[in-house]
Structure 1
Amino acid sequence: MSERDGRRSGPRFHGRVETGRRCEEPGCEAPGEFRAPAVRGGQRDQPGAWRWLCLDHVRAFNAGYNFFEGMDPDAIAQAQRPYAGWERETRAFSHVGADLPPRWGDFSDPLDAIGARFKARVAAERPRADGKPLSGEDRRSLETLGLGPDADRRALRSRYAELVRRYHPDRNGGDRSHEQALQDVIAAYTQLKSAPAFA
């Protein structure tokens, strides 16, 4: 490999970090540019310590790595289930603008959750049965509230009250993590209650 501007040229590998450190494998003088867990089989639910290795030693580490090391047969079988981990709600799935996804934790099968989101979108795009017009902003606001296009003023008020109770910090022990969702719900309700379809 040649040197250019103090950097190596040649094949690039995902995960390489120029740290200025030496490989932590005893006796190795190569740069330590790849991160590997310091202890195998450590606590799986906590961040572990890391060490820095050269490409050859990180390849050797990866070749000998065993995710199931230290697990009993029942724990291995549990980890190999097709939907392992699905029932644990972690962070929210991302969404764009007012396009709120369903609560993924309400479904036992990921395909059902994806199908529910698609069905909600198709229902939201159809016209109202009473023929009252809905603007694009009206439809986005209905989607934010999780309502279909045929919702009436009573359903609008009821859903608004339900979501305010769900997201308000006073009802969640002071937890302010749903503050943006609460603001979105208030803005959607304010917009819809003055829309022609709900007058």
Structure 2
Amino acid sequence: MKPYSKYFEKIKVRPDAKAEAKASTPACQWDGCTEPGTHRAPVGRMREGEYFKFCFDHVREYNKGFNYFSGVPDSDIARFQKEALTGHRPTWKMGANAQATSSPDFAQKRSGNAGYHNRMRDQYGIFGDQAPPRARERKLKSLEAKAMETLGLDAKATGEDIKARYKELVKRHHPDANGGDRGSEDRLRDVLQAYRVLKQAGLC
């Protein structure tokens, strides 16, 4: 092999990447340090967006002693932490700002469309501009309506009303309670059947 072979001429030597980075990067801003400042560190409060340039060792040392609230009173720090919970946006307790919710343009501010708010059902009266919802009347099926009629009740009767009426009619028409009169057995049978229908329907 020749000392000056043509193959040696084709070999490309890669430049030292570290030396190249050192030449193109500004020096570390730590006093007395000549290493490249490859890492950023925040300058401090009220100077957001500004950074020091430090080398790796010095940026670690700087970050250990960095305090964003340096020189700020404890009361201001506590207030900042409390406001940070809501993203520094104003808030108020439920019902404390009722004047704002009753203003005419509240619906438009809230939904962006007052027409939509007017069409929207406020079932529980949250917006305060509608009367509280009235209890919806119960609609009975034909068998349930007939059972209510047998007991002498209407659709507005509650479960307690049905039970009380049932006990009253059973006592009145039961042979043991009316001196053995068997003439009202059919009526008792109808009462028992009616109560069974209402109980299966969950009305009592």
Question: If the length of structure 2 is used for normalisation, what is the TM-score?
Answer: 0.33
Q: Greater Rg, structure 1 or structure 2?
A: 2
Of Structure 1 and Structure 2, the greater helix share is in 2
Higher relative CO (Cα under 8 Å, sequence separation at least 6) belongs to 1
